[in-house]
Amino acid sequence: MIVSGSRLRQIGWAAVLALCLGLFLALSFRVHAVKSAVLLAERQIVELERETLVLETEFQARASQRQLANWNVVEFGYLAPRADQYLQGERQLASLGSPQAPGAPAPIRIARAQLEDGSAPAVIRDREMVSPISGAPVTLASADSADAPTAMFADAFEDFLIEASPIRAAQARTGSASVLSSQAAEAAE
């Protein structure tokens, strides 16, 4: 089979086009490789600049430490602390305190509940809630109602609210002393 001239030209142009496309791809890969190398070099430059800044800062800090040490010795007369100047614990620190002078204000103390006889209770008992205005005891609505289903619902809802409340110490609940003292023990834990 003999190939005609026009067919031969078409094959030639296709080969030239394929060669140009191959050269274009090779050149673009080379450009991307050089671009990646440039970006890597820029990152290394930034990292070295940061390291240089850290080293300069450390050098300045050490130079100022020498200057401060010179000032402490010459100007102020300060010395580094010795091992015998450290305290062993809270008792040794408390022994360094001076007694209160006459007329000095009383130290702040932690508030504690006391029983009627003046002693501190082992577990703080819950007291009945009283109105801050009148001082009269506050009772729940469920305790006053005579309707059993309504009272049962109110008690269940009250229990739900008490358990859901993040503030356990301020319970508005009436009950026996053993239940209240166990609840106070749970709240203390």
Cβ-proximal residues to 114 (8 Å cutoff; 6+ apart), any chain: 120, 121
Q: Mean pLDDT score of the chain, rounded to an integer?
A: 75
Region 51-79: mean pLDDT is: 82
Contact 180, 188 (CB under 8 A): no
pLDDT-wise least confident of 14-28, 45-59, 63-77: 63-77
pLDDT above 70 as % of the chain: 59
Task: Provide the pLDDT for residue 3.
Answer: 67
The amino acid present at 152, given as its one-letter code, is M
Most confident of 30-34, 54-58, 161-165: 30-34
Average pLDDT over residues 63-87: 79
What three-state secondary structure class fits 65? helix
Question: Which amino acid is present at 175?
Answer: G
pLDDT band for 33, please (50, 70, 90 cuts).
Answer: very high
pLDDT of residue 112: 62
By CB neighbour count within 10 A (0-12 exposed, 13-18 middle, 19+ buried), where does 77 fall? Answer: exposed
Q: Tell me the pLDDT tens digit for each residue of 94-151.
A: 777 777 778 777 766 666 666 667 665 555 555 667 666 677 777 765 444 455 666 6
pTM (two decimals): 0.31
Tell me which of 56 and 159 has the higher pLDDT.
56
